[in-house]
Amino acid sequence: MLDAEAFDAALKESPDTTLALMADMARATDEKLRAAARRLAGRIMLDTARSGPPRERGIGRLRPVPADRGGDLDLDASLGTVAEARAAGRVPALDELTARAWARPGLAVCLLVDASGSMGGTRLAAAALAAAACAWRAPGEHAVLSFAKEVTVLRSLHSTRAPAAVVDDVLGLRGHGVTGLAGALRAAGEQLSRTRAARKVVVLLSDCRATDDQDPLPAAARLPELLVLAPAEDTEQAEDLTRRTGGRWAPIAGAADAASALTELLAR
């Protein structure tokens, strides 16, 4: 049985080490330990991602608009206008009445997790925490894709899958194969093409070293906004990719940096 309180205490003292340990335990060979570790890891990742308030919510909201702009008539809000028009012996104009229409969601995010190399505890924990942070920042419209040679959709943009289930899938990733960065960027762009959000962001968790025969620059340049979270010890390609395509990047020295680095990039 895992001691949740002990892990919470360890997380405060040494977040990077504790998160990496949790990610490693989530892939333990012992089935009972693995299941318990995944449940605890999911909760810890989501709680850590929620350590600060989200700056934007990716959920469309109903807002009042003049009825001539569409939407559904708001009877309560329009009663006063109707009464005044009747008293004056006229029919109220549409632009005098109030309707409620859906506003565009503020933020849509697609997270790309590079699973082409060795997926040890630190990389897994950073990826899981980034997935949790994307769910927190854009709860209504966020996608999570992993990639090596091919792209795997862990959560499509308008899926109703719970964040905990997505985090669990991320913790189960196994690193392997070629880094097909261009294909992954195209897949992220396709996900974001489905949204009407005012801001569309691709978050790439990778060292950006493509190892297939496709140039990632054209695909990256076509994205509305690209943010890269790169391992602090290997940022050269991330710097080059974002410099040449108008994106932004930030280093992550440990797993615990993923959520805060994403927050800082989104705020710039």
CA separation for the pair 183, 112 (Å, rounded): 11
Q: How many CB atoms lie within 10 A of CB 218?
A: 12
Whether the per-residue pLDDT at 115 is higher than 50: the answer is yes
**pLDDT value of position 24:** 72
* Cross-strand partners of 143: 110
CA separation for the pair 123, 118 (Å, rounded): 8
Domain residue ranges of the chain, discontinuous segments joined by +: 13-18+33-57+105-267, 62-102
Indicate the helix (H) or strand (E) that contains 231. Answer: strand 226-231
Whether the per-residue pLDDT at 70 is higher than 80: the answer is no
Whether the per-residue pLDDT at 175 is higher than 60: the answer is yes
**pLDDT value of position 143:** 97
Q: What is the mean pLDDT of the chain?
A: 85
Given a contact cutoff of 8 angstroms between Cβ atoms, the answer to whether 252 and 242 are in contact is no
Interval 86-100 mean pLDDT: 86
State the pLDDT confidence band at 146, using cuts at 50, 70 and 90.
very high
**pLDDT value of position 59:** 44
Q: How many CB atoms lie within 10 A of CB 90?
A: 9
Largest Cα span, the chain:
80
**pLDDT value of position 45:** 76
Q: Do strands 72-73 and 98-102 pair parallel, antiparallel, or not at all (unpaired)?
A: antiparallel
**pLDDT value of position 38:** 73
Given a contact cutoff of 8 angstroms between Cβ atoms, the answer to whether 149 and 115 are in contact is no
Task: Return the percentage of the chain with pLDDT > 70, whole number.
Answer: 88
Phi then psi for residue 151, to 5 deg, are: -105, 135
| Distance from the first to the final alpha carbon of the chain | 43
The model's pLDDT over 27-69, given as tens digits with 9 standing for 90+, comes to 677 777 777 777 776 777 777 777 654 444 444 566 687 887 6
**pLDDT value of position 171:** 86
54-58, 67-71, 96-100, 263-267, range with the lowest pLDDT: 54-58
Task: Say whether 61 sits in a helix, a strand or coil.
Answer: coil
Phi then psi for residue 131, to 5 deg, are: -65, -40
**pLDDT value of position 46:** 77
CA 200, 128, 183, 118 dihedral sign is positive
**pLDDT value of position 55:** 45
Interval 14-33 mean pLDDT: 74
The model's pLDDT over 180-198, given as tens digits with 9 standing for 90+, comes to 999 999 999 999 999 999 9
CATH topology of domain 13-18+33-57+105-267: Rossmann fold (3.40.50)
Given a contact cutoff of 8 angstroms between Cβ atoms, the answer to whether 266 and 137 are in contact is yes
**For residue 96, what is the DSSP state?**
G
Quick one: CA torsion of 230, 178, 131, 163, rounded to 10 degrees? 180
Task: Say whether 41 sits in a helix, a strand or coil.
Answer: helix
Token duo for residue 198:
């005012």
The model's pLDDT over 205-246, given as tens digits with 9 standing for 90+, comes to 999 999 999 999 999 999 999 999 999 999 999 999 999 999
